[in-house]
């Protein structure tokens, strides 16, 4: 015997307006650009793994309508239209990476 409850969710979810760009893009708005960190290219031979990873970075300008996306930025903009709105072209998620490397005693470390 199994009892199920069906809940209706009539809320619409907001689309992610983030843009992905590359070195050939002419976009001036905030974009995520690819950036690969390559430890082998740096000559860092004590790094065992990963040999490289995708770090990415954000760059660009924030338009007025973009600042209307969140209630707090909308309020700040309405309270002081000529003031600085603060940073908006920033990562939405960051996470650490695990690495395997040699320490100064040539011991393999995972961390």
Q: What is the pLDDT of residues 48-87, one digit of tens each?
A: 999 999 999 888 887 665 555 566 666 666 776 666 555 5
Pick left, alpha or beta for residue 56 (phi over 0 → left; psi -120 to 50 → alpha; otherwise beta). Answer: left
Q: Within 13 Å and on the Cβ side, how many CA atoms surround 82?
A: 0
How high does pLDDT run on average in the chain? 79
Confidence of residue 12 (pLDDT cuts 50, 70, 90): low
Pick the CATH number of 28-80 from 1.10.3720.10, 2.10.90.10, 3.90.226.10, 3.40.50.9100: 2.10.90.10
Can you give the pLDDT at residue 48? 96
Residue 40 three-state SS: helix
Single pTM value for the model: 0.59
């Amino acid at each position: 015997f199994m009892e199920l409850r069906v809940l209706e969710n009539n809320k619409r979810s907001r689309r992610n307006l983030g843009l992905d760009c590359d070195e050939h893009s002419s976009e001036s708005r905030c974009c995520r650009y690819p950036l690969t960190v390559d430890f082998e290219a740096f000559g860092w031979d004590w790094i065992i793994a990963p040999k490289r990873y995708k770090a990415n970075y954000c760059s660009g300008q924030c338009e007025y309508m973009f600042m209307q996306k969140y209630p707090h930025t909308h309020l700040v903009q309405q309270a002081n239209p000529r003031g600085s709105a603060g940073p908006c072209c920033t990562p939405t998620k960051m996470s650490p990476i695990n690495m395997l490397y040699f320490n100064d005693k040539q011991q393999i470390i995972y961390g």
